[in-house]
C-alpha cells in the first residue's frame, strides 16, 4: 500500500495543488497552520493493508511541497511545528512492524519549499518573474546536502527500512531547468544508502538504476526489460487518478478492475503498489476502505494464484491471464465464456483442475484435432488443446481462477 499524506490532504484537491494553482509559500501556509490529524491511527492503516493482501506500506515522508512528516533536525517545515506537534513516521513504522509488514519510505527529490531549490518549469513559482529574479542565485549543492542529510536521518532514526521510493528525476523532460542524477548526486546518495542499510530496495527515480523500475498509472504490456535484460518492476497505481486525498474526484476504479490490474501485473512478472490518500484528519477514505475490502475478499480466496507466482511460458487464451508457480498453473478469467475454455498446448499436461474459490473439480476433454464442427459438437481446435468444462454460473468473485496441476513443471 502506497500512502500519500501531507499538507495537501487538507486542500483535498490533489497533491500537486501548490503547483497547479501556483500557490506561494504564504498561501500554502494555511494548510501547515491547520494540520492536526486527530484521527491518525497507523495501526488501522496497517491492518487495512494487511487484510487487503498487501505486505508492505510506503509512506510519503516528504512530498514535492517539502513538508516533512518526521521531526527532521534539518528544517522547521515539519509536522512537529504544526498544531499536531508530534512525529508521524515513528508510529507508522512501529504499526507496520507490529502487523508483520515491511516498511517503505517515499521521499521527494523535488522540493517546492526549500530555499536552495532552484526554480524550474516544474515549480509553483515558475511564472513569477519577481520570485525568479530574487532566487536566481540558488545553488543546488546546498539543497543536495539537505537531501542527503534527510535521507540519512530517515535511515538512522527509524530502525530497519525495507524500501525507498525517490520521486523524481526530470532532466531533459519538457519542463525547463529539469533536474536529474547530477543535481541530486545520485551515485553518492545510493552509496550512502547502501552503506547505512545494505538490504533496502531502492527505486529507479534518482535517475540511475536502482533495484526495481516503477511504471506509473499504466500497465506494462509484458515483462519489463532494460537493455534486453529482465528487470524487477512494480506498477504504482491510484484508486482514482489522484495520489493525495481528492474529495470531489469520483473517478474510482472498480474492485473488479483493481483485481484485474493485480493479476495482470503478476502475469507479467510485476508487483502492484496501490495508493490510498488519507484525509486531513488521518482517516482512510471510506471509498478506499471499501475497495481494499473487496480486494481482500478476493486475495483471501485466491492468494496462492498471485503470491510468489510469476509469468508462465504457456500462452493464455483471450481474456485470460496465466500465472505459475512450479507445477501450478493458474488461469484467471477476465470474462466468463459459455461452458468451455480452450487452452492451447495443455493437452496431456494437466493431471487435475479445480476452481480455486471452492476447490470444485473442473472436468476436461481433449477434442481430437480435425474433429468437424457440427450442430451440437465442438471441433476445430488445434492439436494439443485442452478443453475445460465450466459451469454456466460464474463464481461470484471479481476474477474467477482455475488451478491446474501440471504433470511436468514447465515455465517459470
Ligand atoms: C508522480 C507524482 C507524484 C506521486 C508519484 C507516485 O511522480 O509527481 O505526485 O507521488 O508520482 O508515483
12-44: per-residue pLDDT in tens? 999 999 999 999 999 999 999 999 999 999 999
Which residues sit with their C-beta closer than 6 Å to ligand 1? 4, 15-16, 167-168, 216, 236, 243
Give the position, in ligand 1's atom list, of the atom nearest the Cα of 168. Answer: 7
High-pLDDT (> 90) share of the chain, %: 94
Residue 78 CA to ligand 1 center (angstroms) comes to: 20
Q: Whose CA is nearest to atom 1 of ligand 1?
A: 167
149-183 per-position pLDDT tens digit: 999 999 999 999 999 999 999 998 888 999 999 99
Q: Indicate the domain borders of the chain.
A: 2-303, 320-406
- Using the predicted structure, report yes or no on whether residue 377 has a pLDDT greater than 90: no
Query: How confident is residue 350, by pLDDT bands cut at 50, 70 and 90?
Result: very high
Q: How far is the CA of 217 from the centre of ligand 1 (A)?
A: 10
For residue 268, report the distance from its CA to the centre of ligand 1, in Å: 23
* Paired residues of 233 in beta bridges: 213, 270
Q: How far is the CA of 245 from the centre of ligand 1 (A)?
A: 13
pLDDT tens track for 247-301: 999 999 999 999 999 999 999 999 999 999 999 999 999 999 999 999 999 999 9
Model's pTM, two decimal places? 0.96
Q: Lowest mean pLDDT: which of 306-315, 334-343, 386-395, 403-412?
A: 403-412
Examine the pLDDT at 131 and tell me if it is beyond 70: yes
% of the chain exceeding 70 in pLDDT: 99
Say how many Å lie between the first and final Cα of the chain, rounded.
Answer: 26
Ligand 1 atom closest to 165 (CA): 12
Q: Which atom of ligand 1 lies at the shortest distance from residue 63's CA?
A: 10
pLDDT of the residue at 412 = 42
Residue 227 has pLDDT above 50, yes or no: yes
Measured between alpha carbons, how far is 402 from 181 in angstroms, rounded to an integer? 46
In this prediction, residue 43 carries a pLDDT of 98
- Nearest CA to 233 out of 245, 251, 242, 220 is that of 220
- From edge to edge, which strands make up the β-sheet containing 340-343? 340-343, 386-389, 364-365
- In this structure, which topology does domain 320-406 adopt according to CATH? Immunoglobulin-like (2.60.40)
Classify burial at 313, counting beta carbons within 10 Å of its beta carbon; exposed 0-12, middle 13-18, buried 19 or more. Answer: exposed
Q: For residues 82-101, give the mean pLDDT.
A: 98
Q: How far is CA 252 from CA 231, 247, 268, 396, in A?
A: 30, 11, 24, 21
Band (pLDDT 50/70/90 cuts) for residue 397 is: very high
Average pLDDT score over residue span 88-103 = 98
- Grade residue 411 by pLDDT with cuts at 50, 70 and 90: very low
Q: What is the mean pLDDT of the chain?
A: 96
Do the first three CATH levels of 2-303 and 320-406 match, i.e. the same topology?
no
Give the C-alpha separation, 170 to 54, whole Å.
Answer: 30
Query: How confident is the model at residue 371, as a pLDDT?
Result: 82
pLDDT at site 376: 83
From 216, 233, 239, 241, mutation site for ligand 1 pocket: most ligand atoms within 8 A of C-beta: 216
Domain boundaries 2-303, corresponding CATH code: 3.20.20.80
User: What pLDDT sits at residue 116?
Assistant: 98
Amino acid at each position: 500500500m502506497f500512502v500519500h499524506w501531507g499538507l495537501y490532504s487538507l486542500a483535498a484537491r490533489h497533491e500537486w495543488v501548490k503547483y497547479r494553482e501556483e500557490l506561494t509559500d504564504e498561501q500554502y501556509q494555511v494548510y501547515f497552520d491547520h494540520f492536526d490529524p486527530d484521527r491518525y491511527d497507523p495501526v488501522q492503516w496497517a491492518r487495512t493493508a494487511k487484510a487487503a493482501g498487501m505486505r508492505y506500506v510506503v509512506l510519503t515522508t516528504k512530498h514535492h511541497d517539502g513538508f516533512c512528516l518526521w521531526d527532521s533536525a534539518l528544517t522547521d517545515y515539519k509536522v512537529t511545528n504544526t498544531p499536531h506537534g508530534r512525529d508521524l513516521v515513528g508510529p507508522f513504522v512501529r504499526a507496520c512492524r507490529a502487523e508483520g509488514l515491511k516498511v517503505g519510505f517515499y521521499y521527494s527529490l523535488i522540493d517546492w519549499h526549500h530555499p536552495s531549490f532552484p526554480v524550474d518549469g516544474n515549480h509553483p513559482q515558475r511564472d513569477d518573474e519577481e520570485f525568479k529574479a530574487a532566487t536566481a542565485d540558488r545553488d543546488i549543492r546546498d539543497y543536495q546536502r539537505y537531501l542527503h542529510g534527510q535521507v540519512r536521518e530517515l535511515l538512522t532514526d527509524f530502525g530497519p527500512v525495507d524500501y525507498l521510493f525517490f520521486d523524481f528525476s526530470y532532466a531533459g523532460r519538457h519542463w525547463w531547468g529539469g533536474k536529474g542524477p547530477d543535481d541530486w548526486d545520485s551515485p553518492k546518495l545510493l552509496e550512502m544508502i547502501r552503506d547505512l542499510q545494505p538490504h533496502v530496495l531502492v527505486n529507479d527515480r534518482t535517475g540511475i538504476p536502482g533495484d526495481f523500475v516503477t511504471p506509473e498509472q499504466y500497465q506494462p504490456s509484458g515483462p519489463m526489460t532494460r537493455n534486453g535484460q529482465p528487470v524487477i518492476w512494480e506498477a504504482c497505481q491510484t484508486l482514482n487518478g489522484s495520489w493525495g486525498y481528492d474529495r470531489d474526484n469520483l473517478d474510482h476504479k472498480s474492485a473488479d478492475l483493481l483485481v484485474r490490474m493485480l493479476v495482470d501485473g503478476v502475469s507479467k512478472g510485476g508487483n502492484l503498489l496501490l495508493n490510498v490518500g488519507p484525509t486531513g484528519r488521518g482517516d482512510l477514505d471510506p471509498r478506499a476502505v471499501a475497495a481494499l475490502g473487496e480486494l481482500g475478499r478476493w486475495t483471501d480466496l485466491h492468494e496462492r494464484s498471485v503470491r510468489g507466482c510469476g509469468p508462465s511460458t504457456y500462452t493464455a487464451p483471450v481474456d485470460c491471464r496465466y500465472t505459475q508457480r512450479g507445477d501450478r498453473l493458474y488461469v484467471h478469467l477476465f470474462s466468463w465464456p459459455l461452458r468451455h475454455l480452450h487452452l492451447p498446448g495443455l493437452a496431456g499436461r494437466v493431471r487435475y483442475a479445480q476452481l480455486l474459490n471452492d476447490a470444485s473439480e473442473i472436468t476436461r476433454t481433449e477434442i481430437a484435432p480435425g474433429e468437424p464442427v457440427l450442430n451440437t459438437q465442438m471441433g476445430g481446435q488445434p492439436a494439443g488443446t485442452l478443453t475445460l468444462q465450466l459451469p454456466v454460473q460464474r463464481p461470484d468473485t471479481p476474477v474467477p481462477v482455475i488451478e491446474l496441476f501440471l504433470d511436468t513443471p514447465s515455465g517459470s
